[in-house]
Structure 1
Amino acid sequence: MAPVPSDPASFNHRFVTVPSGHRYHLIDQHPEHWRGPIEQAPTILMAHGFPDLWYGWRYQIAAFAKRGFRVLCPSQLGYHETSKPSSPEKYSFKSVAYDMNGLLDVCGVGKVIVFGHDWGGMVAWRFVDYFPHRVICVACVCTPYMPPAKPGVPFTPTEELVRTKLPNFGYQLFFAREDSNVKIEEALEQFLTTNFSPSVRALASEGGKPMPQFPVKVGEMESRMDGIIEAKRRGESRPVPTDPEYHYYLSTFRKHGLYHPLNWYRTRKINHLEEQAARIGPLPAHIPALMIPAEKDPALPPAMANNPAVKKCFSGNLRVLPPIMGADHWVLQASHSLAPAPFHLGRQDVRYCDEVTRLLAEFVDEVLGGKWQPEDAPSKL
């Protein structure tokens, strides 16, 4: 039976325990019409971010299963029914990459195509760094590649990084605090409304009260939450959406909370030290890589993807597409229509989520069809 994106129960849920002892909730969606051993099916590993679930990839899971792929999409560590260790060390990119490697072993998978979004994008990139022999190709939505820390390079505290280079990461200072989940959970309905409700987004696009911009600068996120909480206490909150997708998120986070998912924001120094100790080498030149930016992503703006030093890491094998015009950070599941864009072929009725699927499918077809060509030939010098 083909999965229906609006119905989480229509997907194939299972649990696997990896060598670290972590138990992962996993969507293991088998390809439609596959007749051989499932372990031999071409496989895509999809990784989600915060505050998301496996469900953020629902449209792409269904689409790629229909195209003949097995899709593995775990609820990441700290989320849903997956293990929730308290120590931030367990949420480091290295630890999670090793968990993903173990997950593939348990599922009987060899090499995979890897997709990532948000923190899941960093999981995807670091999986390539730590386990390049298991990767056919990699594609990330919104999340640019960030080179691993090199030996001898001092750690830059988040406060300094935000002040000097990345003011768009200011919200991370609030998320990294031990008590940030308390404020978010007090107004969970409103916090999730701005991120996940197709019905609310459709209303905004049709002339309703627009959704506020995601607050990225220092102090803005906490100030936003304080305002939301005060409005809720006065009985002046925005109406809670009625669509089932939103309520799946709401019920899941009500049950499991946000403290453990927020551990992902408490790992910057841990990642730095682990990457230095691992002395991660250059990325293999044969692994094709794709980056899909979203024009209106305030946390991960398209400019972050066009770093010449990053492209150099991929020996010319990283292709950064033009941003999806009009789309924001939640482009994977957003349902409003695309604004005009050079690559859009003049169709104005395509949903953002479908455009992401199309771009990913074209990339995979190009790679598996042997037609991938690096953007720039590696230097011989």
Structure 2
Amino acid sequence: MDTSKLIPNDPRVKYESAQIRGKTYKYIVGEPQTNPPVDTIFLIHGFPDMGFGWRYQVPYFISLGFRVVVPDMLGYGGTDTPEDLNAFSFKSLSADIKEFARKFVGDGQIILGGHDWGGALVWRVALWHPELIKAVFSICTPFNAPTKPWIALEDMIAAGKLTNFTYQLQFKGPEVENTIQGEEKVRQFLNGMWGGFGPDREIAFVAEKGVLLDNLPKLRRCALLSDEELDYYVRQYMLQKAPQLHGPLNWYRTRKINWEDELPLADKPVTLEMPTLFIAASRDTALPPSMSVGMEKYMPRLTRGEVAGSHWALTGASEDVNGQVAKWLEGVLNGATKSAL
């Protein structure tokens, strides 16, 4: 199979929709030539990405014999944006992924991978529904265990902790959502978030501050997205009613909801028994590799990897990411991927 990256409306995959727990999800699915598939992989994107963010991974995993399912997550593109913020909680989204998976594997298991918020979610799916998960991997996003008592992010940052999450205070508020509306503003925002910079090296994003909104109109085209890809992202964002970032930013508004949901989990030892893989990105300013210290305590079958790249490792370090995930999967599945080649 051709393993070059997906393009918008790529004929190598199918574009589908499904009703999942009362919500419409748009997704792509790619089927391998191997019949039956070696296994089924679900890939979960983060912010402000979409399923298209896995475009370098999907054809490669299909070529290894996997069925690959990639949803546009809640709040994005043609997928629904519920009014109830609870729908964006990790517990609710985990239940969505479980029901979604049953469409493809029945009572069987899936391999689950995530990036950014998708990485945070896949760890929670593994906590809430361990019977569903054969193996789980995350790019950039480390695992953090359920905790108590409640500590607001504002208080943690004020105490000098998690200062790299200061941008989340801006994202959960009204400023970005109210400012970034309409096709031109959405385009400027996405261009900036993927690394566009200005003539005097202006940038769009600083983890310790947030989005530098005044800089967005000054930025040149980012290198990580082609014109066609950026156009595609903008079109997908415009499928959402204004404000177009309301749904995606809701993922930043559920911290207290998630904490309350997970109180029962915080009362007992947390262990993920299935094979796990965490790949850090060396130049990720929002999720620096140091945040992953101590993950071994919670996952006895953890494999670690790292790529030389930014937060956008799926694109900027795609070959390295693909190779590390494939090597890990080969071990998890006792060489089944090799036999598919």
Normalising to structure 1: TM-score of the pair? Answer: 0.79
Separation of aligned partners in 1, 2:94 and 2:272: 20
How many residues of Structure 1 are paired with residues of Structure 2 in the alignment? 325
Alignment partner of 1:273 out of 237, 247, 260: 260
What is the aligned partner in structure 1 of residue 318 from structure 2? Answer: 353
Separation of aligned partners in 2, 1:252 and 1:189: 11
Q: Secondary structure at the match of 2:17?
A: strand
What is the aligned partner in structure 2 of residue 374 from structure 1? Answer: none
- The answer to whether the aligner puts 1:62 opposite 2:93 as a matched pair is no
Letter in 1 for 2:146: P
What is the aligned partner in structure 2 of residue 15 from structure 1? Answer: 17
Quickly say closer, same or farther: Cα 1:370–1:108, change in 2 above 3 A: closer
- Where in structure 1 are there 5+ consecutive unaligned residues? 335-351, 372-381
Q: Deviations over 1:342-368 (max 9, x none)?
A: xxxxxxxxxx11110000000100111
Alignment partner of 2:213 out of 199, 222, 225: 225
What is the aligned partner in structure 1 of residue 170 from structure 2? Answer: 174
Q: Deviations over 1:134-169 (max 9, x none)?
A: 1111111000001123xxx22111101222310000
Separation of aligned partners in 1, 2:204 and 2:245: 21
Counterpart mapping for 1:183-332 below 5 A: 183-185=179-181, 187-196=185-194, 212=203, 214-217=205-208, 220-222=209-211, 224-228=212-216, 232=217, 236-238=218-220, 243-256=227-240, 257-277=244-264, 282=269, 286-306=273-293, 308=294, 310-314=295-299, 316-321=300-305, 323-325=306-308, 327-332=309-314
Letter in 1 for 2:307: I
What is the aligned partner in structure 1 of residue 339 from structure 2? Answer: none
Letter in 2 for 1:328: S
Quickly say closer, same or farther: Cα 1:181–1:129, change in 2 above 3 A: same
Separation of aligned partners in 1, 2:269 and 2:335: 23
What is the aligned partner in structure 2 of residue 339 from structure 1? Answer: none
Contact 1:194 1:211 survives alignment (8 Å): no
Quickly say closer, same or farther: Cα 1:195–1:213, change in 2 above 3 A: closer
Contact 2:78 2:236 survives alignment (8 Å): no
More strand by share: 2
Q: Deviations over 1:7-65 (max 9, x none)?
A: 221131111112x201111111111x1334xxx65111111000000001111111001
Separation of aligned partners in 2, 1:49 and 1:55: 11
Normalising to structure 2: TM-score of the pair? Answer: 0.87
Contact 1:132 1:284 survives alignment (8 Å): no
- Between the two proteins, what is the percent identity of the paired residues? 32
Q: Deviations over 1:94-118 (max 9, x none)?
A: 0000000000112344201111100
What is the aligned partner in structure 2 of residue 338 from structure 1? Answer: none
Q: Deviations over 1:230-284 (max 9, x none)?
A: xx3xxx5535875211211122123321111100000000000001145675455
What is the aligned partner in structure 2 of residue 139 from structure 1? Answer: 137
